[in-house]
Structure 1
Amino acid sequence: MASSLTKAGTGTTGERTFFGHPRGLATLFMTEMWERFSFYGMRALLVLYLTAQVTDGGLAMKASTATALYAVYNATVYLLALPGGWFGDRVWGPRKTTAIAGGIIMTGHFLLAVPFKASFFVGLVFIAAGSGLLKSNISTMVGHLYDGPNDPRRDGGFTIFYMGINIGAFLAPLVIGTVGQKVNWHLGFAMAGVGMGLGLIQFLVGTRSLAARSSLVPSPLSADERSAAVRKTLIGVAIAAVFYGTITLAGVFSIDWVLWPMSIAGIALPALYFARIRRDQDVTPDERKKMTGFIWFFIAAALFWLIFDQSGSTLTVFAKESTASTLFGFAFPESWFQSLNPLYVMALAPVIAALWVKLGRRNPTTTTKFGLGLTGIGLSFGVMMLAMGVAAATDDRVSPLWLASVYLIMTVAELCLSPVGLSVSTKLAPEKYSSQVMGLWFLAVTAGNCLASIMALIFGEKTGSPVYFGVIGALAVVAGIAFLLNRKKVIRLMGDVH
């Protein structure tokens, strides 16, 4: 592909290009890179800050509570991607929604930078809401840059765009993590806000290079629909305000009153959504059969994310409390471990993609890849159980190579399962629910993180213990093997989808 940013591209318009792609891709690439930089930088510090002692500037939370809060936060980001897409489709259009989202995220990070507990939690709400708005719409605008789904540059454009995600995720813990841990927590959170600010400036300056359709509202709300949406929202807010106001006045409020309801809701919502689709009379028997097959994939994905997203919680606590933060004489902050996954993804994704191509007809089926991914992520927690055992037996910090190995296993498992998840979602979705099933797929991340929150609340002080890692790892391995043993049944449910 052409790499010049100033010469005409290979397309027919004579426009300036970004590595042979529409110039707007550069704007979206940089916006997403900075947004991910801010998101993963804050996330690298979150559990470390929550569990740090007050004398060290932290909130002195128990590890189990911090893990549950972190999981609910992650779950909320993906849950809010659904209304985020709705705002882009029905209210503001993708371009305006993304700009507003950037401002909300930036505000949230700067609220985290204020050294007050109340502003910190309000900031988390802002970041989750803004991330949900942005997540659904920025990818849509990448698609708008191309001439339909058959444009030969389209897949390459998304590959470049997703590289921006990994670059931001890789750099964030190295930069923001270092400043937060070594200088000041709140300065680190402020740097995340600056990162989002740079992304927002990039987006606003380069917005003219985006496709015109990105400014359109595809299906605007009617006046009646808008009134109904506002009324339902106000009713929901009023119910929540009355409920939490009552328990606060009764003097029984604690953070568990937030964690438990949100964790249960994050699991119940997709279950209700599946039931709604299956009951719909417009869904044909063949489509209903395929949705039954999709449930298998959804459960497997939820169990996968239950473990994978603990990289920033239980694994980070282990890094802080039980892992040596030196290698070959070089000392580094514990937050740096969270740069390993994006680094491994950038290094291994082309290798594994080439392997699937080389295998040709022997390329594993989607069901096999899912089973292997779920089994692999379970084995990563098996290694964590061993690492915890070594730390307990020696009463000393273990080598950082333990965590490096865990992240490597996790990444290989991710590359087996995650890339084919979106594809199988589009193939198995009923025609009436094609877009909504894509949103439902993201709810697997929500469900998995809500499961992680519930596990942390149940295990309490044993969260992050060898028993904790062993039980959850064994659950995933057993589920992965069960998925592999039942793959022929799942394939039959998939019908003509391969």
Structure 2
Amino acid sequence: MASTTTLDAGIQPAAPSGGKTFFGHPRGLATLFMTEMWERFSFYGMRALLVLYLVTSVHEGGLGYKAALGAAIVSVYNAMVYLTALPGGWIADRFWGPRKTVAVGGCIIMIGHFLLAVPVTVSFFVGLAFIAVGSGLLKANISTMVGHLYEGPNDPRRDGGFTVFYMGINLGAFAAPLVIGTVGQKVDWHLGFALAGVGMALGLGQYLLGTRHLSPQSNVVNSPITPAEKSAVLRKAALWLGLAVAFYAAVALSGHFTIDWAIWPLSIAGIAIPALYFARMRRDKDLDSDEKSKMTGYIWFFVAAAVFWMIYDQSSSTLNIFATDSTSSKLLGFDFPSSWFQSLNPLYIMALAPVFAWLWVWLARRGKNPSTTMKFAFGLLMIGASFLVMMLAMAAASGGVKVSPLWLAMVYLVQTVGELTLSPVGLSVTTKLAPAKYASQMMGLWFLAVTAGDCVAAIMQLIVGDATGSTWYFAAQGVAAILAGFALVVYRKKVIRLMGNVH
């Protein structure tokens, strides 16, 4: 998801009289804007190549994996990026503060991309792990620092600042496949991965040079860890790491290790951790009956979001493979790499996000703004419909026929419409239903819906194997999402009752 926030900029006040500004906003916004733009450039550029490199034959420079396995690896990688955002936020709160955590995260991401550029399989997978960890450190904290630039939540420039910031996300996501995708597919895979590393290096350099413009609050460690707590954490981390190393060393020495030994445990963990995390919060005795009711209502939105992301995030895996194997790379006489399809979503978001921001306000003024439940249901219907379109596209591609690029253009358009009705609304309802005690952690739980959805997709891809990409594969998921959407409509009154005073 290139961007999932549609904030209304509103009317901006005059620029402050003292010092330089960035479109009327604090100068630090330019630093964070450029950092995020280059980080997203590196992230989405590499992701546009990832599954294609995994499934390309060895003699053509790839790793030669089957399509299902390649898609599962991408799904697990996406899941880990969002899973690591939780410890990323915790590290900033307890150890380093947001500013230092983002700097460390950027360095780790850059190293990870350059490890991908080394034509050695072990280096490649270590690089993926580095990028996932670094993204978690950076993603969890850079948006927080944008908020630090403003004088509290009521600063009239705040929403406009986030709108500018998220434009940087989409600019980076749009340009990345066009540049990195072209180099990777047309010149050399590893040169493309290296170019992603250069992009992160540019973002990191911009960040380090511009830190003086950031708020002093970004240096603050909100809840510093005590020496006793630190020792306990390090002991537990060392214990679990040691057990993991010993287990995988034994598997490797026995000669039975395959990539499945990594994908299956991570996929199961990606589903179990959100469930356990939610259950722990729901059982907290400090919560009153109203807060527990709202948490129960939130389960509906979490599951709906997981179903949505299960399908949506396959844009970088199964849909990317379809773009390469079964879609014509020519349109109006112009030839282009298949990775360019990955630029459609951010392009659609930049075009449609302002429209949806205006639409919700327009409907609200007339008393016709749909409820959160109905917006979620519509998002599920759209994402389900996108895979029914994919079913038709796959049927049209039977017998080795290359279908028109307009098929995928339509799929991505329908998915983006669904995203803009579900994802920003999900962020909003998460903050509204969150108990006061778990205000920040609930936002982390929302991102775990992406982890859970991607892990379900990975397990499904491993189970169906060679059937990944068949017409029934897309049809089954599309129908499941549509049924989930109808379930939300049917039970909307029950969900609304659980939500209490939140509408």
Same fold (TM over 0.5): yes
Report the alpha carbon displacement of residue 113 of structure 1 after superposing the two structures with TM. 0.4
In structure 2, C-alpha distance between the alignment counterparts of 1:364 and 1:436, rounded to whole Å? 27
In structure 1, C-alpha distance between the alignment counterparts of 2:24 and 2:135, rounded to whole Å? 29
Structure 1 position 170 matched with structure 2 position 170: no
Q: Which residue of 1 aligns with 2:502?
A: 497
CA contact (8 A) 2:16 2:24 kept: no
In structure 1, C-alpha distance between the alignment counterparts of 2:255 and 2:422, rounded to whole Å? 46
Q: Which residue of 2 aligns with 1:202?
A: 206
Q: What stretches of structure 2 of length at least 5 have no aligned partner?
A: 1-12
Which residue, 361, 364, 369 being the options, matches 1:363?
369
Which residue, 375, 382, 393 being the options, matches 1:376?
382
Q: Within 5 A, what are the aligned runs for 1:311-350? A: 311-350=315-354
Q: Report which stretch shifted further, 270-279 or 36-45.
A: 270-279
SS of structure 1 residue aligned to 2:164: helix
Q: Which residue of 1 aligns with 2:54?
A: 50
Report the alpha carbon displacement of residue 356 of structure 1 after superposing the two structures with TM. 1.6
In structure 2, C-alpha distance between the alignment counterparts of 1:405 and 1:82, rounded to whole Å? 34
Which residue, 153, 158, 161 being the options, matches 1:157?
161
Q: Which residue of 1 aligns with 2:9?
A: none
What percent identity do the matched residue pairs reach? 68
Structure 1 position 405 matched with structure 2 position 410: yes
Q: Within 5 A, what are the aligned runs for 1:55-70? A: 55-70=59-74
In structure 2, C-alpha distance between the alignment counterparts of 1:275 and 1:92, rounded to whole Å? 29
Q: Which residue of 2 aligns with 1:385?
A: 391
Deviations 1:388-426 (CA, angstroms, capped at 9, x unpaired): 00111x541000000000000000000000011111111
In structure 2, C-alpha distance between the alignment counterparts of 1:17 and 1:317, rounded to whole Å? 44
SS of structure 2 residue aligned to 1:217: coil
Report the alpha carbon displacement of residue 37 of structure 1 after superposing the two structures with TM. 0.1
Deviations 1:303-348 (CA, angstroms, capped at 9, x unpaired): 0000000000000000111000000000000000000000000001
For 2:455, the aligned partner's letter is C
In structure 2, C-alpha distance between the alignment counterparts of 1:449 and 1:421, rounded to whole Å? 17
In structure 1, C-alpha distance between the alignment counterparts of 2:446 and 2:93, rounded to whole Å? 18
SS of structure 1 residue aligned to 2:96: coil
Q: Which residue of 1 aligns with 2:122?
A: 118
Q: Report which stretch shifted further, 270-279 or 140-149.
A: 270-279
Report the alpha carbon displacement of residue 485 of structure 1 after superposing the two structures with TM. 1.3
Report the alpha carbon displacement of residue 22 of structure 1 after superposing the two structures with TM. 0.3
Q: Within 5 A, what are the aligned runs for 1:102-117? A: 102-117=106-121
SS of structure 2 residue aligned to 1:91: helix
Deviations 1:27-49 (CA, angstroms, capped at 9, x unpaired): 00000000000000000000000
Q: How many residues align?
A: 489
Deviations 1:260-316 (CA, angstroms, capped at 9, x unpaired): 111111111111112111211101111000000000000000000000000000000
Q: What stretches of structure 1 of length at least 5 have no aligned partner?
A: 1-8
Normalising by structure 2, report the TM-score.
Answer: 0.96
Q: Report which stretch shifted further, 64-73 or 350-359.
A: 350-359
Q: Which residue of 1 aligns with 2:450?
A: 445
Q: Which residue of 2 aligns with 1:144?
A: 148
Report the alpha carbon displacement of residue 15 of structure 1 after superposing the two structures with TM. 2.7
CA contact (8 A) 2:297 2:499 kept: yes
In structure 1, C-alpha distance between the alignment counterparts of 2:69 and 2:264, rounded to whole Å? 11
Q: Which residue of 1 aligns with 2:183?
A: 179
Q: Which residue of 2 aligns with 1:6?
A: none
CA contact (8 A) 2:28 2:149 kept: yes
In structure 2, C-alpha distance between the alignment counterparts of 1:58 and 1:273, rounded to whole Å? 38
In structure 2, C-alpha distance between the alignment counterparts of 1:440 and 1:494, rounded to whole Å? 17
For 2:468, the aligned partner's letter is T
RMSD: 0.9
SS of structure 1 residue aligned to 2:196: helix
Which residue, 229, 238, 263 being the options, matches 1:234?
238
Deviations 1:30-87 (CA, angstroms, capped at 9, x unpaired): 0000000000000000000000011110000000001110000000000000000011
Q: Which residue of 2 aligns with 1:269?
A: 273
In structure 1, C-alpha distance between the alignment counterparts of 2:386 and 2:242, rounded to whole Å? 44
In structure 2, C-alpha distance between the alignment counterparts of 1:275 and 1:195, rounded to whole Å? 40
In structure 2, C-alpha distance between the alignment counterparts of 1:333 and 1:34, rounded to whole Å? 22
Deviations 1:104-163 (CA, angstroms, capped at 9, x unpaired): 000000000011111000000000000000001101100000001111100110011011
Deviations 1:190-218 (CA, angstroms, capped at 9, x unpaired): 00000000000000010000001111211
